Amino acid sequence: MPESSLVKDIHGTSAECRTSPLREFYQSSLQLHRSSNMFSCFCTEHNVQECASHISQELLSLGLTPVWTELSCRSELNVTAVINCMYDLIQLHRRSIRTLENLEVEHHKLSSNVAFLQLTSTRQTEQLEVCKRENAGLVEKERQLQLKVKSLQNAVRNEKEEVHKLQSIIASRASQYNHEMKKKEKEFNKLKEHLHQLLVGKKEKKQAIDVLNNIGRADGKRSLWKTEKTEAKHEGEMYRTLLSDYDARQRELEVENAEMRKVLQQMKKDMMSVLSSTKLTVTNDKQADDGVQADSGEEEEVLDSSKESVELHCVHAREKLTNSIRLQWRRLKNHVERLDSQASLAQVDESKTLAVPRETHEEEMNRLKLEIQQCKDFIQTQQQLLQQQLSSPCDEETGSLLSDRYMSQETERLREEWRTLEEQRKIFERERRNFTEAAIRLSHERKAFEEDRATWLKHQFLNSSPFADSKKPQMSKSKSAFLISETEASGTMDPEELVKCPSDTTSPAHGCFPLTSPSTAITSRTVPYPRKKLEQTEDKDY
C-alpha cells in the first residue's frame, strides 16, 4: 500500500534526526496513530467520496492541487494527483519540522542567552553595591580629610598669628633694648667726658658741708656708737617687727576661720532643721527609712557638736564638720529634687491635693481684691470731701464761717504783733529824738568846752611864749573835723538799726557759696565762683 510505504518513509526520515523533543513527541504521536489506526477511523468504504472531497478541500486550503474534482463522476481518485499531494504534504511536513527544529534551536539559544544575561546582571548589581559602598567610604574619608584640612588651616592661621605676635614682641623688645643701649651709651659718653676733664686736670672742687651749727637729733636722744650690741639690737628689732606682723596676720586669719566655722555650723543646723521638718510631713516608707537613718545621724551629730567647740583645732574635728555639712547638703539636695519631681508629677496629674490649696489661694485673692476695692472707695470719698472743702462754691456761708474761724486766730495774732511793733517803733522814735537832742546838747557843750579850753590855752601860750598863735586854729579845725565825723557816724547809725529790726532777711554772706547738693545723687553741677580776697599786697610779686 502506498500509504504504508509513505509511513515507512516518514519513519525512516524520522529515524535520521532524533534530536528535538518535538520530534520525539511527533514520533510518539505517529506511533499512537499506527497503534490506533486513525486512518481507518477517518475514511471507511462508505464515506470515501466525502473524505476525498474533504481532503481536497483541505488541500485547497493549504494551496495544493486538489485531488478530487466533483465534476468528474468517476469514483476513483487521481492517483498521481494523490501521490503528488502526498509528496507535497510530506515536503511541507519536512519543511515545518525543519522550521520547528530551527525554532527550537533559536529558543534554546535565547534561553541560554537569557540565563547568561541574568547571571551577568546579578553579578553587576553585586558589583554596583560594592562600588556604592566603596564610594560611600571614600566620601566619608574625603569629609574627614576636609575637616582635617580645615583644622590644619586654622592651626596654620593660629601659628601665623602667633608668629606675628612674637614678631611684634621681638620688635618691641628690640626697640626697648636699642633705647636702653642708646641711653647707656650717652651716659658712658658723659662719663668719658667727665673723666677726660678730670684727667686734664681741671680744678677739682671738693665736697664740703657748711653748717651754721649742728642741730640736735629729731628724737632728742644721743647717737650711739656702732657696736655689735647695736647690730644685735637692730636684728632683734627687725625680727620683732616681722613677728608682730605674723602674729597680727595669724590673729586675723584665726578670727576669719572662727567666723567661717560659725557660719558653717549655723548652716548645718539650719539644714538639719529643714530636713527634720520635711521628714515629719512625708509618710513614705522609703523616706521613713531615710528618716530613721537621719535620726541616728542627727543624734551622732548632736553629740558631736558639743565636742566640736572643744576640738576645733583638731584636724579630725574639722574634717568631721565639713563631712557632716556635705552629708546634710546632699540630703537637702535630694529632698529638694524629690519635691521638684513630685511637684512636676502633681502638675501632670492635676490631682485634688493641688486643687485645695488653689481654692484657698483664690479665696485669698478675692478677699484681697475686695479689700482693695473698699480702700479705693474710701480714698475716693475722702478726695471728694476734700474737694468740697477746698472749692465749696455752693456753701459759701459755712465756708466763710470756716475760713473766718481759721483766719481769725491768725488775724488776731498778727494784730497783736503789729501793736507791739508799733509800740516798739514809738519807743525807738522817742529814744532817737532823745539821742539826737542829747547829741546836739553834747556838741554844744563840747563846743563851749573847746572854746573854753582854747581860750585857756591861748592865755597859757600868751603867758608862756611869744610864738604860739598859729596852732590853735589848726587844732580847732581838726577837732571840728573829728566832731563832724562823729555826728555823721551817730546820725547814720540809727536808721540802720531801725531798718534791721523788723526785717527777717539776712544778707548773703560774702565770699563762700556752699556747693548746692544735687537733687539726684548722680547728676553733675557747676559751681558759681565767688572770690575770697586774702592778703594781696605782697603776693603780687610772687
**Cell numbers at 532, concatenated:** 575770697
- Cβ atoms of residues 477 and 491 within 8 Å: no
Q: Which of 137, 236, 491, 518 binds other proteins (CB under 8 A)?
A: 518
Q: Which of 187, 371, 377, 417 binds other proteins (CB under 8 A)?
A: 187
Three-state secondary structure readout of 65-97: CCCCCCCCCCCCCCHHHHHHHHHHHHHHHHHHH
CB of 505 to other proteins, least distance (A): 23
**Cell numbers at 359, concatenated:** 481654692
**Cell numbers at 272, concatenated:** 538639719
For other proteins, the closer of residues 234 and 330 by Cβ is 234
| Stretch of 225-233, 303-311, 345-353, 405-413 lying at the interface with other proteins (CB under 8 A) | 225-233
Does the footprint of other proteins cover residue 237 (CB under 8 A)?
Answer: yes
* Strand boundaries in 265-420, DSSP class E: none
- Cβ atoms of residues 260 and 312 within 8 Å: no
CB of 217 to other proteins, least distance (A): 5
265-294 residues in contact with other proteins (CB under 8 A) are: none
| Stretch of 173-181, 286-294, 370-378, 445-453 lying at the interface with other proteins (CB under 8 A) | 173-181
- Cβ atoms of residues 449 and 480 within 8 Å: no
| Stretch of 21-29, 33-41, 242-250, 427-435 lying at the interface with other proteins (CB under 8 A) | 242-250
CB of 397 to other proteins, least distance (A): 51
Does the footprint of other proteins cover residue 228 (CB under 8 A)?
Answer: no
Residues in contact with 541: Cβ distance below 8 Å, sequence separation at least 6, in sequence order? none
Please count the residues of this chain forming the interface with other proteins, following the rule CB under 8 A. 72
* Rounded distance between C-alpha atoms, residue 466 and residue 456, angstroms: 16
* Rounded distance between C-alpha atoms, residue 513 and residue 190, angstroms: 57
Q: Which of 15, 71, 209, 499 binds other proteins (CB under 8 A)?
A: 209
Q: Which of 38, 110, 253, 356 binds other proteins (CB under 8 A)?
A: 253
- Cβ atoms of residues 331 and 301 within 8 Å: no
* Rounded distance between C-alpha atoms, residue 114 and residue 107, angstroms: 10
For other proteins, the closer of residues 230 and 391 by Cβ is 230
Q: Which of 61, 213, 492, 507 binds other proteins (CB under 8 A)?
A: 213
86-105 residues in contact with other proteins (CB under 8 A) are: none
Q: Which of 175, 284, 323, 360 binds other proteins (CB under 8 A)?
A: 175
* Rounded distance between C-alpha atoms, residue 97 and residue 145, angstroms: 70
Degrees to nearest 5, angle at CA 236 with 232 and 242: 150
Q: Which of 115, 163, 169, 258 binds other proteins (CB under 8 A)?
A: 169
CB of 321 to other proteins, least distance (A): 22
For other proteins, the closer of residues 466 and 514 by Cβ is 514
Does the footprint of other proteins cover residue 482 (CB under 8 A)?
Answer: no
Q: Running DSSP on this structure, what letter comes out for residue 221?
A: P
Residues in contact with 84: Cβ distance below 8 Å, sequence separation at least 6, in sequence order? 65
Q: Which of 212, 390, 489, 509 binds other proteins (CB under 8 A)?
A: 212
- Cβ atoms of residues 85 and 65 within 8 Å: yes
Does the footprint of other proteins cover residue 232 (CB under 8 A)?
Answer: no
Does the footprint of other proteins cover residue 509 (CB under 8 A)?
Answer: no
Q: Running DSSP on this structure, what letter comes out for residue 538?
A: T
CA 315 to chain centre: 41
> What type of residue is 279?
K
CB of 431 to other proteins, least distance (A): 41
Does the footprint of other proteins cover residue 539 (CB under 8 A)?
Answer: yes
For other proteins, the closer of residues 215 and 499 by Cβ is 215
Does the footprint of other proteins cover residue 217 (CB under 8 A)?
Answer: yes
